[in-house]
């Protein structure tokens, strides 16, 4: 019922859009249902793994439901940023293939309307969606992600053992990293623990603590049967100490980490730019952060790029019906996500241009879509 009311409201709004012809309004009305449906479906899909993780912690490990569910709510803006381009691809592909299956696209073309003109309303809407996506990514996502991370970090102070996973590296703070081989939540014990304590001097090797077990008692971490390794600036071991029990001041470090530290996902583009400039002045390599900075703009642009690519492809295979539209949408999502992941990974590994690392998939799919759209004339 709510979806139909939303569709009717959007349909009424479309009727008063200036500079839109009757054909444009017709196409826009046809886009509403697949766009809204695709958006809701992929928000549910992308949040499914978070819901499963939260339910596992709530039911099996007695972590407060209120905090975990609130954390999921704060994750919704970032999920929406990923879902909007997908919804745009689905709306474009399904609408055009349905119109082609019923012969309407052929009727438009026989009346002298070119393929570029038929794609016009989809491109305009996708451009607007890209701007909305950019606004969400700049205004809502950083603060929402920061609040979600703060909830997780604070839970680690109170419910440390349940939130630690086996065979995973855990960033406790800017100073401490940990690796845990085995976790026993009921006994509140860790086994096979390796702690990396970063030295303040740039280029120095970390001090390494290797403990057979660890317990969390009265708000403090205690490590048992510990071997401590100390290294010089060339990475050679200079000292090895054995002790039965060691405690580290991780609690204070985590609290400082909560209040002061932000990841690129928790920053707006301006905040991230200032952070990069500060690191550049300090002589610290900020290449990965520069790639993340450009992704803050390239990812919202995906809505327009994917519509530019999906529109001519959908018109070309429109006679195959709605299933072809779904196949085109799935293919576009798969190829774009894969291209984006590879370009980022290659850019980081081989120190390629941050701009090309973040925008290469948009350039590739955009040029391909432009060529196919011109051929549709």
Residue 89 shares a structural domain with residue 131: yes
Q: Please report which confidence band the pLDDT of residue 296 belongs to, taking 50, 70 and 90 as the band edges.
A: very high
Q: What is the 3-state secondary structure (H, E, C) of 239-293?
A: EEEEEEEEEECHHHHHHHHHHHCCCHHHCCHHHHHHHHHHHHHHCCCCHHHHHHH
141's tokens: 């996502």
Q: What is the pLDDT of residues 237-252, one digit of tens each?
A: 888 888 888 887 665 4
246's tokens: 């060691």
Task: Look up the domain containing 230 and give its range.
Answer: 174-249
Residue 152 shares a structural domain with residue 194: no
Please state the separation of Cα 22 from the chain's center in Å: 38
Residue 145 shares a structural domain with residue 181: no
The predicted model gives 25-48 an average pLDDT of 90
Domain boundary (232, 249, 266) is at: 249
Residue 7 shares a structural domain with residue 125: yes
CA distance 4 to 41: 16
Residue 27 shares a structural domain with residue 128: yes
Residue 98 shares a structural domain with residue 153: yes
30 vs 11, 97, 205, CA distance in Å? 9, 12, 60
CA angle 174, 179, 183 (to 5 degrees): 125
Domain boundary (219, 249, 279) is at: 249
pLDDT above 90: percentage of residues in the chain = 31
CA distance 213 to 184: 11
Residue 201 shares a structural domain with residue 313: no
Residue 104 shares a structural domain with residue 215: no
- pTM for this prediction: 0.72
Q: What is the pLDDT of residues 270-293, one digit of tens each?
A: 989 988 887 787 677 889 999 999
Residue 135 shares a structural domain with residue 209: no
Residue 325 is inside which H or E element, if any? helix 322-349
- Structural domains in the chain (count): 2
Residue 125 shares a structural domain with residue 230: no
CA distance 86 to 39: 7
Residue 24 shares a structural domain with residue 64: yes
The predicted model gives 137-153 an average pLDDT of 87
On whether residue 278 sits in a domain, the answer given is: no
Identify the DSSP state of 206: P
The predicted model gives 93-118 an average pLDDT of 86
């Amino acid at each position: 019922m709510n979806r139909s009311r939303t569709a009717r409201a959007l349909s009424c709004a479309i009727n008063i859009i200036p500079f839109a012809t009757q054909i444009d309004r017709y196409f826009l009305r046809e886009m509403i249902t697949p766009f809204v449906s695709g958006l809701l479906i992929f928000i549910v899909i992308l949040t499914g793994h978070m819901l499963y993780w939260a339910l596992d912690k709530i039911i099996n490990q007695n972590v407060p439901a209120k905090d975990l569910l609130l954390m999921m709510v704060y994750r919704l803006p970032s999920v929406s940023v990923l879902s909007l381009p997908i919804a745009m691809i689905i709306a474009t592909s399904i609408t055009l293939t349905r119109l082609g299956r019923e012969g309407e696209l052929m009727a438009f073309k026989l009346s002298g309307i070119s393929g570029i003109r038929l794609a016009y309303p989809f491109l305009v809407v996708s451009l607007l969606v890209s701007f909305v996506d950019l606004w969400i990514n700049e205004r809502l996502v950083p603060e929402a992600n920061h609040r979600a991370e703060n909830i997780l970090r604070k839970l680690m102070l109170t419910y440390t053992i349940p939130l630690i996973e086996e065979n995973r590296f855990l960033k406790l703070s800017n100073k401490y990293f940990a690796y845990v081989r085995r976790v026993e939540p009921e006994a509140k014990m860790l086994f096979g623990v390796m702690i990396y304590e970063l030295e303040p001097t740039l280029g120095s090797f970390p001090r390494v603590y290797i403990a057979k077990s660890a317990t969390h008692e009265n708000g403090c971490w205690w490590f048992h049967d510990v071997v401590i390794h100390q290294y010089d600036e060339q990475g050679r071991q200079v000292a090895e100490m054995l002790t039965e029990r060691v405690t580290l001041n991780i609690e204070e470090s985590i609290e400082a980490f909560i209040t002061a530290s932000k990841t690129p996902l928790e920053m707006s583009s301006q905040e991230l730019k200032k952070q990069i400039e500060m690191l550049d002045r300090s002589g610290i390599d900020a290449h990965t952060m520069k790639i993340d900075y450009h992704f803050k703009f390239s990812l919202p642009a995906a809505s327009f790029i994917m519509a530019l690519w999906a529109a001519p492809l959908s018109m070309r295979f429109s006679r195959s019906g709605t299933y072809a539209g779904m196949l085109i949408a799935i293919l576009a999502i798969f190829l774009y996500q894969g291209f984006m992941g590879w370009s980022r990974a290659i850019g980081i590994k081989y120190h390629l241009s941050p701009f090309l690392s973040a925008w290469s998939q948009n350039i590739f799919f955009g040029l391909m879509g432009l060529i196919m759209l011109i051929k549709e004339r």
